[in-house]
Amino acid sequence: MDNHNVSVIHTGKLPMSNDPLTILSWCPQLNLIFKVMNKTSIWCYRIDGERIFSINNRSIINNVAFSSQEIFLSGIDGKVKVYDVNNGNFIDQISQTFNSVQYMQWCDTPYRLRNSPLSGLPEVDSKNGTMIDKMEYLAIADGESITINFNKLLNVNKANTGYRFTQRISNDMFNQIYLDDANNLLSVDINVLLKQNYVDLIILICQVQKYLDMLQDTTKTIQSAIEPFVVLLDRYLHNFADEDTNGRLASSTFSDILLTRLVPESTKDFWVNQVGERGIKRLSKLATFAYKKSSELIGGKLVSLMEKVILLLSRLLGISKWENVLNIDLSHLELLLNYCKLQLKFYYQITWEINGEKDVTAAFISWWKIIVDALEEEEWKENYSTLTLLQFIQDGMLNLKVSKYFKFSLQEINRRETKESGQEKGTEREFLAMSHEHILQQFEQIKKSVDRHHAEIISVRKIQKLEIPSQKGLQLSSWNNKIVISYLTEIVDLSTNMLTLCTPSSTISTIPNIIAYEHRLSDLIALTATHILIINLTSSVSIPLPALDFKPCYIRLSSSYILLTDAAKLQYAILQID
């Protein structure tokens, strides 16, 4: 090995935790320190000790894992939650409830999607990030079961393996090596012949799920954009009906006002005091936003998202017809594809209806302003089409196109057809959210079949039982495709620990007086009372430990930094290897 120096970058103190066994984690991608506090919260610090954010997991945290952009927290509530590692914001939750997660690790792979059907197409929404064309997964050991969560979107499981997995060695995704709590070295294999086909199908399924989730989120955004306008107009119409003491339908009274220019005395308080000029301005502003936003999002974003879903499903169907390595029901997939094509037409229909209604709704609100102005100024200004407004009052006012595909709690609008038929509210209309939910449910059936198929193609076999004496700190790694095992044994009479470095078949070396250690990609770094040791398969380098104000007992590593803490995980130092 080359000569190395260790320099102190920062020393500091972390807050005290009420749990002496608290989890202290190091995010190697961003060089951030994470410490579990009060068992249910985790706090994030820069290497200079600055606290950036905290996450309240709302459940006792028992495992932490990192990807390049996320932190994964498993809790005793059986949930694995995903947070943004840059700011602590909640992103999502793995769509499966677990029993007793004892281990999880995020894994990258070299596998990529061949010839993406979306290649060259613009991203729909930059806030949702670039669509992943590569294979990544979270390996989760849950009791005697193992779950592989691909790209945070697809779960496949192998249940009742007979082993309780405790560690994983980074290796080929199709041939993963694990250790269980009885020191059995295990191989978890995904047995497929056409591996690239398998990768393509898994990534395509993940991408479809991502876009379907975006469709659902966008629908909620559209509803939120429309709701203020529809609710306000509905309240005005309901109040107007209450003001008209003759008990007539609001549409009849509006028609009379339009044709005669005579405003019933009983409704003047409504026009002047309840609506007024401010109410007209607010209603007009909300209407403009509702029609503009809904048209943009339905005719633009939903259409673009569904077009991508159709392209992905078409590729998924094409590959599966050629070589169905996931045993997907092709007829089910074809039905889903056809339904998505119908849904795309549905978007165009809604957009056409909303755009056609926008101008007449604006004219209707302007007519309201003419009424308010006439009552205040006693002058009636006619700058509207009587026929257009009359048709809207009779046919469109209580059956708004902008709201008919969404579920709101309304008293007047979109109730006429249900009142006439005697049906419950909403049963006669196809809601946009319900049609999306139907697609999600259909696709969920495909995902479940993929999960069931993995129970058949994932095998777990015992490689060998490791004959390891009573030890602590057992760690496994893969250095240059060679399995490396390390552990500490206590030398009682010397009150110290011996580090043993070995392969499954032979001992490489033993190093005395080791306090703590951790593996890196192709070596390990060990801590003694006076030195830092860098050890690989062929050599060892000893570097004097810089003077510190505390006795280091724990070590965490990234490629460039060393984190040392005392026994209580309070005082810490960041060292850099030059």
* All structural domains of the chain with their residue ranges: 198-455
Give the pLDDT mean for 186-191: 96
Looking at the DSSP bridge assignments, the partners of residue 337 are: none
Lowest mean pLDDT among 257-266, 280-289, 383-392, 487-496: 487-496
Give the model's pLDDT for residue 423: 43
Instruction: Sort strands 458-465 and 184-190 into parallel, antiparallel or unpaired.
Output: antiparallel
Give the pLDDT confidence of 525-569 residue by residue, as tens digits. 999 999 999 999 889 999 999 999 999 999 999 878 999 999 999
Q: How confident is the model at residue 380 (pLDDT cuts 50, 70, 90)?
A: confident
Torsion sign, CA atoms 346, 348, 353, 354: positive
Give the model's pLDDT for residue 492: 64
Span between the terminal Cα atoms of the chain, in Å:
13
**Could you give the CA distance from residue 364 to residue 244 in angstroms, rounded to a whole number?**
19
Give the pLDDT mean for 65-92: 95
Give the model's pLDDT for residue 379: 76
Burial class (CB in 10 A: 0-12, 13-18, 19+), 191: exposed
pLDDT at 196 exceeding the cut of 50 = yes
How much of the chain, in percent, has pLDDT values that exceed 90? 73
Give the pLDDT confidence of 452-506 residue by residue, as tens digits. 999 999 999 999 999 888 788 899 999 988 899 999 998 766 668 899 999 998 9
Give the model's pLDDT for residue 494: 61
Give the model's pLDDT for residue 223: 96
Looking at the DSSP bridge assignments, the partners of residue 490 are: 497
Q: Could you tell me the two tokens for 565?
A: 């803490």
pLDDT at 427 exceeding the cut of 60 = no
pLDDT at 420 exceeding the cut of 60 = no
Give the model's pLDDT for residue 30: 87
For the chain, give the mean pLDDT: 90
Give the model's pLDDT for residue 127: 58
**Are 250 and 412 spatial neighbours (Cβ–Cβ below 8 Å)?**
yes
Q: How confident is the model at residue 125 (pLDDT cuts 50, 70, 90)?
A: low
Give the pLDDT confidence of 357-373 residue by residue, as tens digits. 999 999 999 999 999 99
pLDDT at 341 exceeding the cut of 80 = yes
pLDDT at 276 exceeding the cut of 60 = yes
Give the model's pLDDT for residue 303: 97
**Could you give the CA distance from residue 430 to residue 386 in angstroms, rounded to a whole number?**
32
Give the pLDDT confidence of 567-576 residue by residue, as tens digits. 999 999 999 9
Neighbours of 569 (CB within 10 A): 20
Q: How confident is the model at residue 4 (pLDDT cuts 50, 70, 90)?
A: confident
Lowest mean pLDDT among 93-102, 124-133, 151-160: 124-133
Rounded to two decimals, what is the model's pTM?
0.90
**Are 343 and 439 spatial neighbours (Cβ–Cβ below 8 Å)?**
yes
Give the pLDDT confidence of 215-261 residue by residue, as tens digits. 999 999 999 999 999 999 999 999 888 776 565 678 888 999 999 99
Q: Which residue has tokens 């801590």?
A: 527
CB half-sphere exposure, 198, CA atoms < 13 A: 17
Give the model's pLDDT for residue 491: 77
How much of the chain, in percent, has pLDDT values that exceed 70? 93
Give the pLDDT mean for 311-326: 96
Residue 193, C-beta contacts closer than 8 angstroms, at least 6 positions apart: 325
pLDDT at 130 exceeding the cut of 60 = no
Torsion sign, CA atoms 235, 237, 240, 242: negative
